[in-house]
Amino acid sequence: MTVIRAQALENAGRVISDAAAIFSKLTPRESAQRIWTPGGLSLDELTDRITASRAAWEGSDTLALD
């Protein structure tokens, strides 16, 4: 792996970690409001998905990305 690629992966990991820390402090609805985009899922659908993902995460040692 090149140094540039390794640095890019490290930087991406930091960004993802920082975002996860921020979103973990928000309610599912607040998280949905921050990621909602016109033409995408409704706020209610996003809220439901975030709630389900968090519930699955609480009982697991892996991250649910679906």
Q: Are 29 and 43 in contact (CB under 8 A)?
A: yes
What tokens does 14 get?
A: 């930091």
Write the pLDDT tens digit of every residue in 10-55: 999 999 999 989 988 999 999 999 999 999 999 999 999 999 998 9
CA-to-CA distance for 23 and 32, rounded, in angstroms? 10
**More confident of the two residues 18 and 1:** 18
Going from the C-alpha of 12 to that of each of 3, 23, 30, 33, 66, the distances in angstroms are 14, 16, 24, 23, 20
pLDDT of residue 1: 76
The pLDDT of residue 34: 94
Q: Contact 35/47 with Cβ under 8 angstroms?
A: no
